[in-house]
């Protein structure tokens, strides 16, 4: 997502030191190949997403003379070397578009980590240096949405397993996790890119930049749903003695919207659930034409989610589904949006199962835990050169540092194949082009493949072996313990 001038200037959207790298290659260098991968880390898999947004917003915009002048002034001001001839050549020889070809796996695809996701190479030997020049912005454009998308995808698998174990209604899966992260991220760009990544997995979001990003860059049609949700200012403005009036007002105001998510912790959450929703306003809640959500926004997430479910069952009753778990009436649910992260979500479901409560009794919202609590090292993303052509001969190159095995990079031009149900990164020349899942998506300023958001969703929902992420969900399969599960995980 562009920020406008001067931030959109491709020549300065990088680390300053990139400007001094071009003469450091061997004499006679003609081509430089680089690739991007997750080198392992917290997540066992990666759901690839976000590349198209960067290509459309940055690499399809030509470098101009004004960009060159601006960059030259800035670099000289900082004492950094600047080669004006390189960039004037880009303008004169290629109309300002970077002479580079980029190939990638399909967006939305879920691949075990340590596999190649993207590979790029220059298309004009005169500009061998360009492949690595824009690494800073390029890697950032990939690692962030892919990491958020992967976190969201893994959360989806946790919820799916919980539903399969305790619910007859697995079809609600895409509606179970809401994005509340807009206020918890560092920038609107992050909200846009992380927000669109989450929407590949779930159809719920209040992060407007993410919705717009999915529509703008991937042609998404109605990618998200939301509904009337309260905040403390609107309720506490009535005063503590009039909390019941504040909630009644919301339920009456939004009757025709079919949903009203009511904050219950403005003062005393237990009292609100038991004596207001389940007491004075019980008839209004029961007759609400849609869903009323009781939304605790504080406390121990594990205990308060299960406690609130049971208090609502005491007031409104429940049914027992075919799997032997209790389910609230369809007009009332718990909406838990506080303290939800990749770890606490599992703990909540384990505790609900321990108490005999179906996972479908609660829906969830994730904020900073979704969009902000990640960094490049979460899944150890890296972009490294893997091959160079010098004087007409290819050299396979790799980084092999001591003391950090995960930083050892892959040598040689690469391909990704599916073989015997497993993805494998192999030498490019060892397989046919048809076998290679890396496909050209961009060349010399032109988009070669335009992914539609519906394709991303379909790719993300393609079945994958649970063995790929078995450790991530092992706690759920182990079943609940005999003592309550705490939130301190």
- φ, ψ at 397 (rounded to 5°): -125, 155
Rounded mean pLDDT, 455-480: 94
pLDDT tens digits for 351-367? 999 999 999 999 999 99
Give percent of the chain above pLDDT 90. 91
pLDDT tens digits for 281-317? 999 999 999 999 999 989 999 999 999 999 999 999 9
pLDDT tens digits for 181-210? 999 999 999 999 999 999 999 999 999 999
For residue 402, what are the contacts with CB-CB under 8 A and spacing of at least 6? none
pLDDT tens digits for 62-75? 999 999 999 999 99
Q: How confident is the model at residue 405 (pLDDT cuts 50, 70, 90)?
A: confident
The CATH topology of domain 16-133+380-463 is nicotinate phosphoribosyltransferase (3.20.140)
pLDDT tens digits for 330-351? 999 999 999 999 999 999 999 9
Structure tokens at 245: 């009036």
Indicate if the alpha-carbon torsion angle 66, 67, 73, 76 is positive or negative.
negative
Q: How long a stretch of residues is the chain? A: 489
- φ, ψ at 332 (rounded to 5°): -140, 135
Per-residue pLDDT, 485 = 42
Least confident of 73-77, 196-200, 413-417, 464-468: 73-77
Q: Contact, 211 vs 223, CB < 8 A?
A: yes
Q: How many CB atoms lie within 10 A of CB 391?
A: 9
For every residue of 412-468, DSSP letters joined together read S-EEEEEETTEEEEEEGGGS-TTT---EEEEETTEES----HHHHHHHHTS---GGG
Q: Which residue reads 């066992």 in tokens?
A: 44
- Does the pLDDT value for residue 268 go beyond 90? yes
Q: Contact, 440 vs 448, CB < 8 A?
A: yes
3-class SS letters over 86-150: HHHHHHHHHCCCCCEEEEECCCCCEEECCCEEEEEEECCHHHCCHHHHCHHHHHHHHHHHHHHHH
Per-residue pLDDT, 359 = 98
For residue 238, what are the contacts with CB-CB under 8 A and spacing of at least 6? 245, 246, 249
Q: Contact, 309 vs 277, CB < 8 A?
A: no
Rounded mean pLDDT, 217-240: 94
Per-residue pLDDT, 297 = 87
**Under DSSP, is residue 19 helix (H, G, I), strand (E, B) or coil?**
helix
Per-residue pLDDT, 484 = 42
Q: What CATH architecture is 170-371? A: Alpha-Beta Barrel (3.20)
**Under DSSP, is residue 40 helix (H, G, I), strand (E, B) or coil?**
coil
Instruction: Name which of 159, 158, 184, 132 is nearest 14 in CA terms.
Output: 132
Rounded distance between C-alpha atoms, residue 439 and residue 144, angstroms: 22
Rounded mean pLDDT, 40-49: 97
Rounded distance between C-alpha atoms, residue 117 and residue 104, angstroms: 6
- Which has more confidence, 19 or 482? 19
Structure tokens at 122: 């220059």
Per-residue pLDDT, 480 = 75
For residue 251, what are the contacts with CB-CB under 8 A and spacing of at least 6? 260, 262, 281, 284, 285, 288, 292
Per-residue pLDDT, 185 = 95
pTM of the model: 0.95
Q: For residue 328, how far is the Cα from the chain centroid? A: 31
Instruction: Name which of 387, 276, 273, 383 is nearest 333 in CA terms.
Output: 273
Rounded distance between C-alpha atoms, residue 191 and residue 196, angstroms: 8
| Delimiting residues of CATH 3.20.140.10 domain(s) in the chain | 16-133+380-463
Q: Contact, 447 vs 55, CB < 8 A?
A: yes
R_g of the chain computed on alpha carbons: 26
Beta bridge partners of 177: 364
- φ, ψ at 61 (rounded to 5°): -110, 120
Rounded distance between C-alpha atoms, residue 31 and residue 14, angstroms: 21
* DSSP character at residue 377: G
Q: Contact, 339 vs 376, CB < 8 A?
A: no
Q: How confident is the model at residue 400 (pLDDT cuts 50, 70, 90)?
A: confident
| Delimiting residues of CATH 3.20.20.70 domain(s) in the chain | 170-371
Q: Which segments of 154-309 are extended strands (E)?
A: 177-179, 204-205, 259-263, 291-295
Per-residue pLDDT, 422 = 94
pLDDT tens digits for 478-488? 877 644 444 33
Mean pLDDT of the chain: 94
Beta bridge partners of 294: 262, 334
Per-residue pLDDT, 366 = 95
């Amino acid at each position: 997502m562009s920020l406008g001038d001067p931030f959109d200037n491709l020549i300065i959207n990088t680390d300053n030191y990139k400007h001094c790298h071009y003469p450091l290659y061997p004499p006679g260098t003609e081509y430089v190949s680089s690739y991007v991968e997750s080198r392992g880390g917290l997540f066992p898999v990666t759901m690839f997403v976000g590349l198209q947004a960067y290509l459309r917003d940055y690499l399809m915009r030509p470098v101009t003379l004004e960009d060159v002048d601006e960059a030259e002034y800035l670099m000289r001001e900082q004492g950094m070397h600047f080669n004006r001839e390189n960039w004037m050549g880009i303008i004169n020889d290629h109309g300002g578009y970077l002479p580079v070809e980029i190939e990638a796996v399909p967006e939305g695809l879920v691949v075990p980590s340590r596999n190649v996701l993207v590979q790029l190479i220059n298309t004009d030997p005169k500009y061998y240096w360009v492949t690595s020049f824009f690494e800073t912005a390029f890697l950032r454009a990939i690692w962030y949405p892919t990491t958020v998308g992967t976190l969201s995808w893994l959360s989806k698998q946790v919820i799916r397993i919980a539903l399969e174990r305790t619910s007859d209604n697995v079809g609600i899966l895409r509606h179970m996790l809401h994005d509340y992260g807009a206020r918890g991220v560092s920038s609107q760009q992050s909200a846009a890119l992380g927000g669109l990544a989450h929407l590949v997995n779930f159809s719920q979001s209040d992060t407007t930049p993410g919705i717009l990003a999915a529509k703008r860059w991937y042609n998404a049609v109605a990618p998200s749903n939301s509904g009337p949700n309260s905040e403390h200012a609107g309720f506490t403005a009535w005063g503590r003695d009039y909390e019941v009036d504040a909630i009644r007002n919301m339920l009456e105001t939004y009757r025709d919207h079919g949903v009203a998510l009511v904050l219950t912790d403005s003062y005393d959450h237990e009292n609100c659930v038991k004596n207001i929703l389940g007491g004075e306003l019980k008839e209004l809640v029961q007759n609400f034409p849609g869903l009323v959500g009781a939304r605790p926004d504080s406390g121990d997430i594990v205990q308060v989610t299960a406690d609130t479910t049971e208090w609502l069952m005491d007031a409104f009753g429940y049914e027992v589904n075919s799997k032997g778990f209790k389910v609230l009436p369809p007009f009332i649910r718990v909406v838990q949006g506080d303290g939800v992260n990749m770890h606490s979500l599992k703990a909540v479901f384990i505790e609900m199962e321990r108490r005999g409560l179906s996972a479908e009794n609660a829906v969830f919202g994730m904020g900073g835990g979704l969009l902000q609590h990640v960094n490049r090292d979460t899944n150890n993303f890296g972009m490294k050169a893997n091959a160079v052509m010098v004087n007409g001969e290819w050299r396979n190159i790799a980084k092999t540092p001591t003391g950090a095995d995960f930083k050892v990079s892959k040598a040689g031009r690469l391909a990704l194949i599916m073989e015997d149900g497993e993805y494998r990164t192999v030498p490019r020349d060892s397989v046919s082009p048809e076998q290679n899942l890396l496909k050209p998506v961009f060349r010399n300023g032109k988009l070669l493949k335009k992914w539609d958001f519906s394709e991303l969703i379909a790719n993300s929902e393609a079945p994958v072996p649970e063995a790929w992420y078995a450790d991530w969900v092992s706690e759920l399969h182990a079943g609940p313990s005999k003592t309550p599960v705490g939130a301190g995980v």
